Amino acid sequence: MSIMIQLAAQGGKRHVTVTIDDSFADKPAADFVFDLLGVEDLDALAAEGVVAEAELPDLRAIQSTVFDRDDEGFFIRDGVAFTSNGREVDPDQPLAAVLTKVDRDGLTYRRCDMTIHAPGSAPAAAPPSSAPPAVPSQSREEQMQLFGKMLFLHQIARGFAIDVTRDDPDLIDFVALAEKEQLIEIDTARAAYALSAAGRRLHDQWLEEAQELIHRYDIFGDVDMDSSGAVRFDSHVGQDWRVPVYELANVDPFKARFLIGLNDGEWDHLDGWQGKLNDEKWYAEIFAPIEAAPSVEDLGRDRLVFVMEEARTVLREDGAFQ
């Protein structure tokens, strides 16, 4: 029986699937970290079939996240932690403590989804697991405040001139918040607000996050699964499964929807955008497809996990994770 471990790190940007011998199950989890992630010659792991060659760049990036080096070799960086199904992994416990037995298509193996957290990094979006999803829960008011801030800064980023000599009632709170967080400054030549360096970095970060979501999850926008269990993507006859996949991957589907809208320029030419920032009806329209999407329970957790693994295979073959 083999063991399959899916690793996620660097805010979910790095994902690697490793397959190891069942003998690791009785060893402390720390041995897995040092004996696999701490291997000097990662190319040898690919040659042995432990990891796909296409995933070596991600594995090297994960290794650099976990380890630093001194004269004696690798050591784990301060503050690095490993979680499985939302719970911290005890390095002294046997790896078996976080493994689940799986029987699928005549194959039996043990597996777990492990997320690596490092100081200063964004929370990693873990691969799908059997645990309930920990999607961030926000009230509609909190969502409107966040997304209003995003739209406000995006409009400034794309060149919309907000006159600093006149107060717009729809913008007062957003201007005050952005000034407090030092995200905007005054362009004296235009007498208008401009993004500060911090504001530009934050806006760029949002667009990068959106592009990463598209890169990893757009494939689930058209899923066709027949009665035999065969899966096709981009068939033009499938269903949009992105929302339940987001939930299993611990991604907020509302934030994902808004980020992708910004990235795609959906609201670049939105008339009266200032009045939309606090407009509950406008947000309800935007998020109606999210509210109406099938849930994890509707599609079945095991079915979704299977489709997600099939998608990862397709993306690896297409070079999407290289």
Q: Is pLDDT at 109 greater than 80 in this prediction?
A: no
What pLDDT was estimated at residue 132?
39
Q: Which of 82-86, 135-139, 278-282 has the highest mean pLDDT?
A: 278-282
Q: Is pLDDT at 164 greater than 70 in this prediction?
A: yes
- Model pTM greater than 0.85? no
What pLDDT was estimated at residue 134?
43
For residues 62 and 33, what is the distance between their CA atoms, to the nearest angstrom?
11
* Stretch(es) of the chain classified as CATH 3.10.20.90: 2-117
Q: Which residues pair with 87 in a beta bridge?
A: 84
For residues 247 and 250, what is the distance between their CA atoms, to the nearest angstrom?
5
Per-residue burial over 16-38, b = 16 or more CB atoms within 10 Å of its CB, e = otherwise: bbbbbeeebbeebbbebbbebbb
Q: Is pLDDT at 270 greater than 50 in this prediction?
A: yes
Considering only CA atoms, which of 212, 209, 214, 202 is closest in space to residue 150? 202
Q: What is the CATH number of domain 2-117?
A: 3.10.20.90
Find where tokens 């995003």 sit.
150
Could you tell me where the DSSP H helices lie in the chain? 29-32, 42-47, 56-66, 140-157, 172-180, 197-217, 242-248, 253-263, 273-276, 280-292, 296-299, 301-317
- 192-241 pLDDT, tens digit per residue, is 999 999 999 999 989 998 998 998 899 999 999 888 888 999 999 999 99
| 11 Cβ contact partners less than 8 Å away, ≥ 6 residues apart | 121, 122, 123, 124, 125
Q: What percent of the chain has pLDDT over 90?
A: 42
What pLDDT was estimated at residue 126?
41
Radius of gyration for the alpha carbons in the chain, expressed in angstroms and rounded: 22
Q: Which of 1-10, 205-214, 287-296 has the lowest mean pLDDT?
A: 1-10
Q: Is pLDDT at 95 greater than 50 in this prediction?
A: yes
